Structure 1
Amino acid sequence: MTETLRGGVIGAGVFGGYHARQYARLPGVTLSAVLDSHPERAAQVAVPLGGRAFHELEAFLDAVDVVTLASPATFHAEQALAVLAAGKPVYIEKPIAVSVAEAEKVRAAAAKQGLVVACGHQERVVFRAMGLLDVPEQPVLLEALRHGPPSDRSRDVSAILDLMVHDIDLALAITTAEPVTAEGEGRLGASGVWDQARAEVSFDSGLTALFDVSRVAGARKRTMRVVYPSGEVEIDFVARTFRNTTPFALNPDFADTPAAADPLGASVEAFLQAVRGEAPRPVVTAEDAIRALDLAIAVEQALEDAA
C-alpha cells in the first residue's frame, strides 16, 4: 500500500460527490478516480477535486488503492466483490447489499483476502458522540421515526432498506439482545416498492423496537426515543438535540464535536485508519451491516405477509 492512499469512488451521484470530497480533504489520501456509467457525470465530480473520470471498472481499479461504493444498492454486492478481487479495501454505502446471501459473499471474500470492508451507517458516529454506545443499561423500548419528502435517490430499494435500516442499525448498536419477531404494515409506491412502513420488532431481552419511515412525507422529521429502566432519552436528529432523564452523563454538546459535525468524514477516516492498521476496525463492519440488513429484510417480509 502506498504511503498516500489513492481513493476511488464508484457512483457520481449526490453521495458519490460527498465521498469524493472526503477523499480530497482527508490527510493521507487523495481523490484519484471516479467511476460512473455516464463519463460526463464522473468528470463533473472528479476533475474539480484533482481526480480522473472513468467508465471502465478495470482501468478504474488500477488507479486506486481504496474504494467507496456510492452506486445504487442493487449493484453493491457485484461491485464490492470485483473491488475485493482486485485486492482493494472497500467502503460500501448502506445497505451493504440487497440480500443477506450477497452480503455474506462480500464478507467471505474480504475475510479470505484479509481486506477491510466498512459500511456507511455513519450515524453510529453521532451515537458515539452522544455517549449512547456506552450506556451500561439495556433499553426496554425504542421508538424511531424517519420521514422525508419524495426524492429520486435510492428508488431501486424500499424505504426499509433506504431509511429504516439506519434506525435498525442504531437499535442493534445499543443492545446486546437478538431480534426474535418482526411485524409490520406499509404502503407501496408507484414503483411497486414500500414507500411507507411501520414495524414492531421484539427482542429476546424484552426490548420492543418501533420503526416508522416514510419517503413521501411533507417535511423532514427524524426522532428517536429510547427508554431504559432508569429513564429515557429523546433525540431530535434534525435539530441535533436530545432530552435525557437517565442518570448517565450523555454529552449535551455532542453536535459541536468534530465527529458529530461531520459523521461521514469521521466514518471514512475510521475506514482509512483500519486500512492502514491504525485502528482495529471501521465504525461499522461487514458483520454489523449484515445484522442490520437481515432484520430489515425480515421487516420487508413481514410487510409482504401482512399485505
Structure 2
Amino acid sequence: MSKKVRVGVIGVGHMGQYHVNVAKQLVDAELVGVYDKDPERSKMISEKYSTSNYSTPDEIIEKSDAVVIAAPTFLHYEISKKALTAKKHVLVEKPVAETVEEAKELVDLSKKNNLIFQVGHVERYNGAILELGKIVNSPIFIESRRLAPYNSRIKDVGVVLDMMIHDIDIVLNLVKSKVIQLYASGSKIVSDHEDIASVIIKFENGCVANINASRCTQAKIRTLNITQKENYVRLNFTDQE
C-alpha cells in the first residue's frame, strides 16, 4: 500500500474550507493541518475537521508533502515560493500570482525541483466544458459573458483576475492558437479595481474571442457561445445546458 500524501491547507476562508473538506475525505491523502492569518478562524476550522492548527505557513509547509494555498492573492507568490523551495507540491488558488513575472518564476522553480505545481482553474473540470472539448475543433468566433452581483469578499483583485480568468483559460484551451492581438477596457464601479471588463482576442488561426465580465450586475449570467463553420454551440453554465 502506497504512503498517503500529507496535505496542509494554508488559508481557510471561503474557498480554503472547501479544500479542507475535500482533503479530509481523500483516501490517498492525510490532512495534517491548517493555517490562517486569522487565528480564531484557523482554530475553528481545525477543530471542526479534527486536524492540527499551525501558527505560521512555515510550520505547516515543513509537516506536509503538498500544500493547498487559498490565501489572498497578494500572498500566493510568497507562500508558493516557500513551499516549492522546500520541495513541496503545490495547489494554489487562481490567480497564480499578481504578475506574469512572478508566475513564470514559480513555474520555473517547480520544474527545477521536479514538483507538481497546479493552479485551481476548476472550470477545466466542469462537465459541460469537458464535453465542449469533444465537439469544438475549429472555432471562428467565441463570445463569453460572466456577470454577477458584487461580492465584498473579493477585495484584493479586479474582475479580470477574479472572474474573467476562468473564461480566458477556457478560450485558450479551446482555440489552441497563438494570440496575435488583444484589446481590453474596463472600469471601476464599486471597488478600487476594475469591476467590469471587456476583452477582444484575435488568434493566429483567425478566431476572434469577445470576453466580457462584470461583478456589479443584479443578475448572474454565465454563457459561452461558439461559432464554427459547421455548427453553433451555446452553453449556459447556470443550468449546464
Instruction: Indicate the TM-score class for this superposition, using the shorter chain for normalisation.
Output: over 0.9
Shift of 1:157: 0.9
AA at the equivalent of 2:201: V
TM-score, normalising length from structure 1? Answer: 0.75
Gaps of 5+ in 2: none
Between 201-210 and 127-136, the greater mean CA deviation after superposition: 127-136
Shift of 1:129: 6.2
1:72/1:156 contact within 8 Å kept: yes
Task: Note the alpha carbon deviations across 1:242-273, whole angstroms, 9 max, x for none.
Answer: xxxxxxxxxxxxxxxxxxxxxxxxxxxxxxxx
Check 1:21–1:217 CA distance in 2 against 1; reply closer, same or farther (3 A cut). same
Check 1:180–1:153 CA distance in 2 against 1; reply closer, same or farther (3 A cut). farther
Shift of 1:77: 1.0
Shift of 1:31: 1.9
Check 1:182–1:127 CA distance in 2 against 1; reply closer, same or farther (3 A cut). farther
What is the match of residue 107 of structure 1? Answer: 107
Alpha-carbon distance in 1 for matches of 2:46, 2:138: 45
Q: How does 1:228-307 map to 2 (within 5 A)?
A: 228-241=228-241
Q: Is 1:62–2:72 an aligned residue pair?
A: no
Higher RCO, 1 vs 2 (CA within 8 Å, ≥6 residues apart): 1
Which secondary structure state, in structure 2, belongs to the residue aligned with residue 6 of structure 1?
strand
1:5/1:30 contact within 8 Å kept: yes
AA at the equivalent of 2:160: I
What is the percent sequence identity of the aligned residues?
Answer: 29
Q: Is 1:214–2:214 an aligned residue pair?
A: yes
Alpha-carbon distance in 2 for matches of 1:33, 1:96: 22
AA at the equivalent of 2:217: A
Q: Is 1:3–2:19 an aligned residue pair?
A: no
What is the match of residue 175 of structure 1? Answer: 175
Question: Could you say which structure has the higher helix fraction?
Answer: 1
TM-score, normalising length from structure 2? Answer: 0.94
Between 16-25 and 179-188, the greater mean CA deviation after superposition: 179-188
1:73/1:154 contact within 8 Å kept: no
Task: Note the alpha carbon deviations across 1:176-213, whole angstroms, 9 max, x for none.
Answer: 21111111222113432100111111111111111111
Alpha-carbon distance in 2 for matches of 1:129, 1:208: 19
Between the two proteins, the alignment pairs up a number of residues equal to: 240
What is the match of residue 118 of structure 1? Answer: 118
Gaps of 5+ in 1: 242-307
Which secondary structure state, in structure 1, belongs to the residue aligned with residue 175 of structure 2?
coil
AA at the equivalent of 1:123: E
Alpha-carbon distance in 2 for matches of 1:17, 1:86: 24
Which secondary structure state, in structure 2, belongs to the residue aligned with residue 174 of structure 1?
helix
Alpha-carbon distance in 2 for matches of 1:195, 1:27: 40
Alpha-carbon distance in 2 for matches of 1:115, 1:200: 35
What is the match of residue 139 of structure 2? Answer: 139
Alpha-carbon distance in 2 for matches of 1:54, 1:106: 24
Alpha-carbon distance in 2 for matches of 1:9, 1:189: 33
Shift of 1:63: 2.2
Shift of 1:113: 0.6
1:144/1:211 contact within 8 Å kept: yes
Q: Is 1:35–2:65 an aligned residue pair?
A: no
Shift of 1:78: 1.0
2:160/2:213 contact within 8 Å kept: yes
Alpha-carbon distance in 2 for matches of 1:217, 1:55: 39
Shift of 1:54: 1.6
Alpha-carbon distance in 1 for matches of 2:45, 2:236: 32
Task: Note the alpha carbon deviations across 1:157-181, whole angstroms, 9 max, x for none.
Answer: 1101111110000001112211111
Structure 1 runs of 4+ with >3 Å offset: 127-130
